[in-house]
Amino acid sequence: MDAEEFRKYGRKMVDYIADYMENIRERDVVHKVTPGYLKKLLPSEAPENPEDFEEVFKDIEKFIMPGVTHWHSPYFHGYFAAGNTYPSILGDMLSDAIGCIGFSWATSPACTELEVITTDWLGKMLALPEEFLHCGPGDGGGVIQSTASETVFLCLLAARNKIVDKIKKEKPDLEDKEILSKLVAYCTDQANSSVHRSALLGAVKMHKLDSDSNFSLRGDTLRKAVENDKKEGLIPFFLCASLGTTGTCAFDNIEELGPICEKEDIWMHIDAAYAGSAFVCPEYRKYMKGIEYAETFSVNPHKWMLINFDLSVMWIKNSLYLVDAFNVDPIYLRHTNEGKVPDYRHWQIPLGRRFRSLKLWFMLRSYGVSGVQKYIRKHCQLAKDFEKLILDDGRFEITSETVMGLVCFRLKKGNKVTEKLLSEILDDGRIYMIPAFSRDTYFLRLAVVAERTTSDDIRYSYEVIRTCADKVLQHSEEITADEPVVVDIDLSRKKNILGVNADTNSANHVNGHTT
Ligand code: PLP
């Protein structure tokens, strides 16, 4: 493809993207294909000779779009919000064109410096303590990672390194393997599956602790777990607290958990992948009381801040815990300005990194703080509107408080009928939702996901649910009595590489959620 063709098809692609976004309601929100559909349609070998791009273009609608789930449709209500905006797409276009591999400042100074500036902007927008900022008093700062999962794993490794170093200073004869087998991390029983996975990958035990009736992890629960584990000879070292859990958007009480972590020298990481974006609005900052105790904090602008996947931001108070822990510095990666600016390769797992701050910069400048606040508040209001429709209907109940853009609800008739309702909704195909399960209760989650969602869209989704409920309730007496639906991942069956059970706390295996 030469420059002229690139201009031609670039313009055509931009038009295609704008049409796709503006007319997304007209598409079926979920694909109707079965596994292997594409294999039947595409040749099994790459073309021997160059093809005309016009032909390639035609095949997007013919072969690709039928297999796409339209996450940015206002009728997609699964998981959590997934950001996407035109400025963010333009940022990715430019990043792809520049195509630098910004692992050190020297490989493209703008790539590092824009990331330093934009993560500070964002940190200030979320009212993070200044210790988390590059412009703050210490060695803190923000860094763009791919995902919140990668961040929690990295933080767990840094915390593991910190505690192993400390113990070896006190007891130099102890071997790493012996120390590792005694380490124990904690999270709430509502934590995202990526948190449990970080312990498996990091070869440490992780105890899932019972959350309270509001699905919040409380200080007393952590205190008791730490006391018990210490009596057993274990070494508590890491807590992943969740602000906005995946199942119900619940908030751990970090004001209670923080002082315990401080006293016990436990690294507190905060996973605010979804709900963290709401802290841009002062009225939601009550949920971050206690943030000053955190060592690290992460939020996904690619979820709820208008940025397309992938862009997850992690802030750390003392970046030396990362730089010292994972510093491998061969001569070919060095440069003369080392130490004056962050070399982000030390702050992440891969070596290479993209110029992702461009899309954050483009979005923040296009929307401003006020635009982001307006978007968050609109989603929260739409969730409240949906909650009202559901409650006014009379046949549904809300299963946990609606605090942000997620509504958790079910039919009052119970688990089995609600399960049937979901299958009716998915068969109908006009909207998409996923279920969750906690404390023997099966419920549906309606997340306000798309930027363009309006009150009319929410009413439309409610109408679909209402008509499906009509059908299901007509036959509800045929649906057999409730029995618990067990959907949890049982960590007790999983062993890490040291052959140690990832979770020895068998009392906590029943509750869980779907992702
Ligand atoms: N943490 C929470 C609370 C989540 O809801 C999710 C995903 O939904 C994650 C972590 C994982 O996010 P990521 O896909 O960025 O790893």
Region of poorest pLDDT, from 12-21, 212-221, 308-317, 472-481: 472-481
Strand order in the sheet with 312-316: 141-145, 312-316, 296-299, 267-271, 235-242, 183-188, 205-209
The set of protein residues with a Cβ atom below 6 angstroms from ligand 1 is 79-80, 147-149, 192, 194, 242, 244-246, 271, 273-274, 300, 312, 515
Q: Indicate if the pLDDT at residue 323 is higher than 90.
A: no
pLDDT bracket for residue 512 (50, 70, 90):
very low
Over residues 438-463, mean pLDDT? 94
Looking at residue 420, what is its pLDDT? 95
**pLDDT tens digits, residue range 113-137?**
999 999 999 999 999 999 999 999 9
Q: What is the DSSP string of 382-409?
A: HHHHHHHHHHHHSSEEEEE---SSEEEE
- Ligand 1 pocket check: which of 145, 149, 189 to mutate, most ligand atoms within 8 Å of Cβ? 149
Let me know if 116 is exposed, middle or buried by CB neighbors in 10 A (0-12, 13-18, 19+).
buried
C-beta separation of 85 from 361 below 8 A: no
**Residue 77: is its pLDDT beyond 70?**
yes
Residue 351 has pLDDT above 80, yes or no: yes
Cα of 298 to ligand 1 centre, how many Å? 10
Q: Please tell me the least confidently modeled range out of 279-293, 302-316, 334-348.
A: 334-348
Atom of ligand 1 nearest to the CA of 244: 3
Residue 341 token pair: 């600016």
CB-CB contact of 50 with 243 (8 Å): no
Domains of the chain plus CATH, in order, are: 126-319 (3.40.640.10)
Residue with token string 């992780």: 206
Q: What is the pLDDT of residues 366-414, one digit of tens each?
A: 999 999 999 999 999 999 999 999 999 999 999 999 999 999 999 999 9
Rounded distance from Cα 273 to ligand 1 centre (Å): 5
Residue with tokens 């948190």: 195
* Cα separation, 102 vs 355, whole angstroms: 7
Q: What is the DSSP string of 91-142?
A: HHHHHHHH----SSGGG-HHHHHHHHHHHHHHHHHTT--GGGSTTSSSS-EE
Q: For the chain, what is the total number of helices (H) and then of strands (E)?
A: 15, 11
Instruction: Classify burial at 103, counting beta carbons within 10 Å of its beta carbon; exposed 0-12, middle 13-18, buried 19 or more.
Output: buried
Could you read off the pLDDT of 93-115 as tens digits, one per residue?
999 999 998 888 888 999 999 99
- Residue in 132, 200, 159, 194 with CA at minimum distance from that of residue 322: 159
CA-closest residue to ligand 1 atom 14: 147
- State residue 495 phi and psi, 5-degree precision: -115, 145
pLDDT score at 476: 73
Cα–Cα dist 292/294, whole Å:
6
Residue 485 has pLDDT above 60, yes or no: no
Residue nearest to atom 15 of ligand 1 (CA): 147
pLDDT of residue 55: 95
Q: How far is the CA of 142 from the centre of ligand 1 (A)?
A: 18
Q: What is the pLDDT of residue 499?
A: 44
Give the pLDDT band of residue 176 (cuts 50, 70, 90). confident
User: What DSSP element (H or E) covers 194?
Assistant: helix 193-201
Cα distance between the two ends of the chain? 41
Q: Which residue has its alpha carbon closest to ligand 1 atom 4? A: 246
User: What pLDDT score does 342 carry?
Assistant: 85
431 has a pLDDT exceeding 80: yes
Could you identify the atom of ligand 1 that is nearest to the CA of residue 310? Answer: 15
| Ligand 1 centroid to residue 309 C-alpha, Å | 12
Name which residue leads in pLDDT, 461 or 80.
461
Give the per-residue pLDDT at 27: 95
Q: Which residues is 236 bridged to in the sheet?
A: 184
